Structures are given as structure tokens and as C-alpha cells.
Amino acid sequence: MGVHSQLRRGLSLATAVAALLGVSLVGVGSASADTTVDVSANDGQITLKNAVAGHKYAAVEIATYQDATVNGDNKVSNISIATVPDLVADAEAALAEARGGATSDPAYANNPVGEVASKWLGYASPGSEDTVSNSGSAADAWGRDGKLRQFVTALAKTSTFTTKVTGSTATVTPAADGDASLSSLPEGLYIISDVTNVQGSTNTRINSIPMLVGTTVGPEHITDFVDGMPVGTINIKDDENSISKELIQTDADRGASVSIGDYLHYRLTLKVPLTTGFNPDTFVYKVTDTPGKGLDFVSDEAHPVVVKARSGSDAAATAQDAASYIVTPGTPTDGATGVEFDLTKLVVNNDPATRLTWKDPITIDYYMRVNDSAQAGKLSNSAKLTFSNQPGGGSTGTIVTPDTPTNAAYFYNFKIRKVAKSDGAALTDAEFSVTRSDGTAPLWFNEQSAGKYMLAMNQSAPATGQNQTTVLKTDNTGTLSVDGLSAGKYSVAETKQPDGYSSAFKPTFNVDIVLEKTGSKPDASKPVITNEADTWGLVAATTTNQAQVSQPVYDANHVLTSPWSQGFPNAITINNVKSISQLPLTGGAGIILAVLLALVLAGAAGVLIVVRNRTNKMRV
């Protein structure tokens, strides 16, 4: 394999290295007064900038330095290279792939890397066929449109090269983020591959794409060319994925509190991943939302899936064509139905007119509906991003959204305990109805078991096959649990008293579920439930604010550990009486009793007067 005179222009290596380093090449000075340096020793060095701790980087030589010269300032002025013999065939194939089938220059026969170094400079200079490979900006994602980048990607996936990577002894695994070094290398051009095993990784970072770099030159480890451009250094070209999830709240009072049957609006925010250096046919980029019990994915005209991103030359994010991604609803499991959003087609699209911009945000808006399998407390919901993390390979990594208050929803319940006023005995089969304060019709509930009722998803009519009712009955312990409610005010009315108790004194009272505030924002994880005393004074209330506070207990993760449905301490106690004489003698009931007694006494006085008058008349 010969080294052609064209490679002695002084531009070949300098520009090839510059092309992937992202530096500007001004020019190379004359070699007329230059000195030859020895490039035959194994003393080349390469510094990896921004290397990632724990990642393993392997170097594979693809071309050797044949000779080089330096000027009086000890800067490289000229260098020539030759393709490594057992890579010639693969490099020629990679060159043809990057050219799109165009014919190679016969002047570089058996030296495809020489042609790449000489012509695919990444700059508008004489003989250049590639003017974009060196920018490394977000707009072109490390020069994805450049022929030099396409050549490196194509060569790195060939069988000969991958075998060389596997057997490479020129490796480094830094213990900390920062610079890492490879030394004692035969001087030449290398492709640096990140060979870290990242299959199944939960790290947000992907492996670096393959990078082309030249070693330092000569025994003095020269790094500068005459234009000041360094050699022997490469910046790691990796990427970091991210995903976040937010529950979109629209009601200032209800916040993240919900009722059974409500639709929850979620938004996922991701960023356009790096696809440069990856095989678009095997690339993976998808999100799976796996909700906890009580949530079902829904998609209809009123609750559509909307994916937004900035594409092509758009100035702002726009809704993407539904044909560019795939939405797959999950199989209902344990009271929940998830969904998968496959964005692979959208992100690998490389049409300059419509493709996305690397690192730009992508948002996915979608809806879940609260079903009646939910339990009072926190509704958990997480999303997992699965993404390709090994350029040229098939491995994938995952990131899961953290379970935080920004993506959590809550709903609540209250409990009633029905007892006899006389002796506190539990009363069964008392009947109640519950109505929203802004409604006129009683709410429908599903009876889950005796005394336990969950708000029904369908409030217009009973659901087929479900024990749906507006009549809520106490169980054999005299208790009643009303579940599935959002923050708000509810009117509770006793509609039927237990057998043997007066029907004239059935209480009606309000239950108010309010949210404590963190700053000015309602915190759905901190509900406070109060109930007013009724007119008859049969509903227990606190002595300080005429309301009984019923508050659940949550752990540090806002998981309900002591709901209202457990035990009696937080239950609203309601008394029943058999006669008027058992009513309290204070409060509203006392006033009513006084009025009734006055009326009775007035009536009795009237009777006495009439009788007396009649008696007097009889005596006349």
C-alpha cells in the first residue's frame, strides 16, 4: 500500500482531526524549511475530554502516520497517513456508503482513510467535499449530515472493526468524570469507541458515539499544528436523556384532588435524543405509563393524545403528525390500564424539512380516568422511558419518573358511626344520601361490601352488573364509609332511621373537604375534613369550632397509612333518639324544644281559660 503525494499537502490529518474536534482549520504553512520527526515509535497519546466515570473506552487504529514534519516553532506542518491493511476493504465499503454510492477517487486506491482525511475536511477549502462534519452543534447533532461522520459510523459497525474493538488492549476506564488518557499507542488515526456494557442500565447517559482522533506526533508528543489546532485530544460525544411527568391542574380549590370518574390530564416532557451514530433500524425511544390501581388510560375526541415538538425550521413546538408515533393502550390489569408511546419513528426521522432538533423538548399530553377500583389516598402513576444507549448496538436503558407530588392525585372518604343517644349502642340499617353542595340529586355509589360505598363512575344511571345505589346503609357495627370524593362540600341526609327510633328527628348536615396550602397552592396530600352540627344536635361536633376534624395519616411518601375507613376515631358520630325527650337541651334542638314547650303550655293555658269561663257561666 503506497502513500500518495496528495496526502503530503499537510491538510490530510489536520483537517480530519479538526472535522470531529469542532475546531477551525485556517491553513497549514509551507514545509520547505521544516524538520522531519520520527512517527514510527509506539509513543502516541490521546486525551479524552469529559470522559464519564466507569465507562470503558477502547481505541482502534484505522490508519498509521507515515511521516511528519514540524516547523521552527515545533508545530506540525505536514503529515501523511496510510490505511491499516486489514481495514482497507471495510473502509472502502464505509466510504462508498457515506458517498451514497458515488465512485471513490482512484488516486487513493487502497487508501480510503487517506481519501477521507484529504477530502472530507468539514471545511470549505480546496478539494473539500464535506463542509458540515465539524460543527458539533445541537442543530446538526455532532455533524450527522457530514460525510466524515457517516464514514466513521459506517466503519465502526463493520465486523472487522467490531472484532478489533472487542480485542483492543488500548482501553481506559476513568474512576471519575473528567479527562482520561491513552498512551504508548502506535502513532496514527484512531476511532475511540465507548464499549461500556449498558444493557438494562438505569443511568440517564448513553455511550459516546464513535470518535475519530489522531495521536500526538513524534517523541515530544507534539499537539499543535501551525494554525494552533491541537491533536491528540477528543471531546467525548455522548448524550443524557431525561423524562419528567406533571399532573396538569386547572381547579384552584381542588388542586390535585379528584373524584371517581374524573379525567386526569398528564404531561410528559422529554428531549430529542442523540441519534447520530445509531442504526435507525434498531433505534428505540418509547415511553410506558404504568398507573397504579384505579387509573385507566383513555383516548377519545375530548381527551386526545397530543405530541408536540419543534420540527424542521419551525420557530415553536407544534403538534406532530399522529403517523409519526404509535400509541398502544395496555391490557387492563389489577384495576388499571396503562399505555405505551413509541416515538422512535419521530426521533430517527432525518429529513431536514421535518426532523427534530437534538436536545429540544418533546411533550406528550394524555389522559387517565379514575375508576372505582381506586382506594382512598394517593393515586400512584409513573412513566418509564426506554431508549437505545449503545451506538451501533442493540442495548437499551431505562429511566423512571420519580413519584412526586407534581404527578400524584388524591381522593378522600369520610366515615359515619350511627349510635343510640340513650346508651351509645351501634345502630344498623340507618339510610343516608350524599349530595354535592352544588347539586340537587343524590350521588350514585357502588356498594363494595356492607357499609362500604365507592362513588360510581357513571352518575347518570346505574351501571350494568354493579350494585349501584343512592341509598347508603350502615353495617352491623353501625358504621358507613363514603369513598371516592374530591375536595369540596357535601350534604349528608339521614333518609331512614333504624327500627324503633323516631322518624321526626333525622339529621342533615354538611361535610367539607378542604386542602391545606403550601404557600398559595392547595396541597392535595394534606386534606382536612370538617362536618357541621345538625339542627337537632344529633351530629357530634368539636367544642372549639363546632366541627369535627377528620384527618388521615400519610407517611413520608404521602402514602395513606391510616385512612378514615379504619377504626372509629375519625368517624362522624350521629345519634338517634326514640322520643323528643332525648333531644339535647342546648343549641338548636334546645331552642326548638323550648318553642314546642311554649306552644304546649300556651295551648294548655288556653284550655284552662276556656274551662274556667265555662265553669263560671255554669255558676251564674
The tens digit of pLDDT for each residue in 35-56 reads: 999 999 999 999 999 999 999 9
Q: Which of 221, 238, 219, 239 is nearest to 230 (CA)?
A: 221
Q: Which residues, 6 or more positions from 465, have their beta carbon under 8 angstroms from its beta carbon?
A: none
In this structure, the chain runs to a length of 620
Q: What is the DSSP string of 332-392?
A: -BTTBB-EEEE-HHHHH---TTTPBPTT-EEEEEEEEEE-TT--SEEE-EEEEEEEE-STT
Residues 150 and 600: their CA atoms lie apart, in Å, by 102
Report the percent of the chain where pLDDT is more than 70: 79
Burial pattern 450-464, b for ≥16 Cβ within 10 A else e, equals ebbbbbbbebeeeee
Phi, psi of 586 (to 5 degrees): -125, 170
pLDDT at 12: 45
pLDDT at 440: 82
Q: Which of 116, 119, 80 is nearest to 95 (CA)?
A: 116
Q: Which of 403, 380, 383 is nearest to 293 (CA)?
A: 380
pLDDT at 570: 61
The ranges assigned to domains in the chain are 7-17+31-239, 243-401, 410-582, 591-619
Number of Cα atoms under 13 Å in the Cβ half of residue 365:
14
Residues 423 and 273: their CA atoms lie apart, in Å, by 70
Q: Which residues of the chain have pLDDT under 70?
A: 1-32, 121-128, 131-139, 227-229, 376, 405-406, 461-466, 540-570, 585-620
Tell me which of 3.40.50.920, 2.60.40.1080, 2.60.40.10, 1.20.1050.10 is the CATH number of domain 410-582: 2.60.40.10
Sign of the four-CA dihedral 456, 462, 467, 472: positive
Q: Is 570 exposed, middle or buried (0-12, 13-18, 19+ CB in 10 A)?
A: buried
List 431's β-bridge partners, or say none. 473, 496
CATH number listed for the domain at residues 243-401:
2.60.40.740
List 435's β-bridge partners, or say none. 491
Residues 395 and 2: their CA atoms lie apart, in Å, by 40
Phi, psi of 234 (to 5 degrees): -140, 140
C-alpha cell at 277: 451514530
Q: How far is CA 291 from CA 364, 377, 409, in A?
A: 16, 15, 11
Secondary structure class of 553 (helix, strand, coil): strand
Amino acid at site 582: Q
Which pTM was predicted? 0.81
Cβ atoms of 381 and 267 closer than 8 Å = no
**Counts of helices then strands in the chain (DSSP H, E):** 7, 34
Cβ atoms of 291 and 373 closer than 8 Å = no
C-alpha cell at 270: 422529554
Q: Which of 533, 456, 450, 443 is nearest to 488 (CA)?
A: 443
Residues 489 and 443: their CA atoms lie apart, in Å, by 13
* Residue-wise pLDDT tens digits, 547-563: 344 444 445 444 445 44
pLDDT at 352: 85
Residue with cell 498509521: 64
Cβ atoms of 397 and 284 closer than 8 Å = no
pLDDT at 228: 55
pLDDT at 151: 92
Secondary structure class of 16 (helix, strand, coil): helix
Q: Do the two domains 243-401 and 410-582 of this chain adopt the same fold?
A: yes
